[in-house]
Amino acid sequence: MNDLSKDAVNRITVGEDAQGQRLDNYLVKILKGVPKSHIYRIVRSGEVRVNRQRAGPDARLTSGDELRIPPIRARQRLALALTVPGHAGARNIGVPPALFEDEALLIVDKPSGMAVHGGSGISHGVIERFRHARPDAKFLELVHRLDRDTSGVLLLAKKRAALTGLHAQLREGLVDKRYLVLVRGKWRDALRTVDLALESHSTSGEKRVRVTDGGRRAVTVFRRQRTWAAMDPPMALLEAELKTGRTHQIRVHLTHLGFPLAGDDKYGDFQWNRTLAKEGLKRMFLHARSMRFVHPMTGDKIMIDSALPADLKSYLERLDRLSSKADEVTP
């Protein structure tokens, strides 16, 4: 697959590892570096054929299918930019550090600011970086997603059986995913379960999520970790446990409750965010702290934790210092 021609039509036979995979996902995997927008264009225009027939991006592949793929000059140019030092467009394509890895799973500590996949002007995210770094990998897919600004535990599958097994656990609510968030406001409850349905909609071409009775059920359990009630404004550090995995679930639930997430540039308090940036918090305070699940191949219990990044830890230390000074001057 790494020997695709840049000048001629390519014909590829689908292997057993891609059995049941969507056409668009398969093309993203083998055309490393090609923007998704370009891949969808060549599929919809009919330049990509499956067994000499046009096929949609959601067509499911079968082992033995023959794919016709047009010349891939865009891929070769991007590959050159990624691998040749000094080439125009060259960039750092380092991969996040691994927290756990075996023959079926790869769990990484994703930094804030790195997308999990390419698209919307981003040529390569975590998955593209790993595929580029591991050209001999037969299978490598995201199990779930994190927002670009969210840091922490991210799970990838190295075998299709592991991917489908983990997706089943996610659907059945058997994966324990917990996050740390910093919010504004006086949070009083030690434990609070929020059960508010969410619905996605588009505003000026931008996808947003809102609380609505007609949406899909979304449940988040919040646990109070620490509070800075005497601060102006007061703040609280919470652990958020996802019982469902809706888009932007934690962020929208918190904003709806009146506790905006620090640094949230989509649903938060924009004026407060500007103040936070001046104080040193230049990103959203949302960190995927831990994940618990059953290994889909071995049956072992897997428990993965990610330490709070230095920038978030530093801001909490700043709050502690300011809070201590406030206590000293309080009569």
Mind telling me the catalytic residues? 147
Beta strands in the chain (DSSP E): 10-13, 49-50, 53-54, 66-69, 98-101, 105-110, 141-142, 151-157, 176-184, 191-195, 198-203, 206-211, 219-228, 235-242, 286-294, 301-305
23-30 vs 36-44: helix crossing angle, rounded to 10: 130
CA distance 325 to 216: 45
Q: 68: which residues sit within 8 A by CB, 6+ positions away?
A: 9, 10, 11, 47, 48, 49, 50, 52
Question: CA-CA distances (angstroms) from residue 309 to 110, 225, 265?
Answer: 10, 17, 19
Q: Identify the burial level of 3 via C-beta atoms within 10 angstroms of its C-beta, where 0-12 means exposed, 13-18 middle and 19 or more buried.
A: exposed
Residue 208 DSSP SS3: strand
Backbone angles phi, psi at 228, to 5 degrees: -125, 70
Q: Residue 114: CA atoms inside 13 Å, Cβ hemisphere, count?
A: 22
Backbone angles phi, psi at 219, to 5 degrees: -125, 125
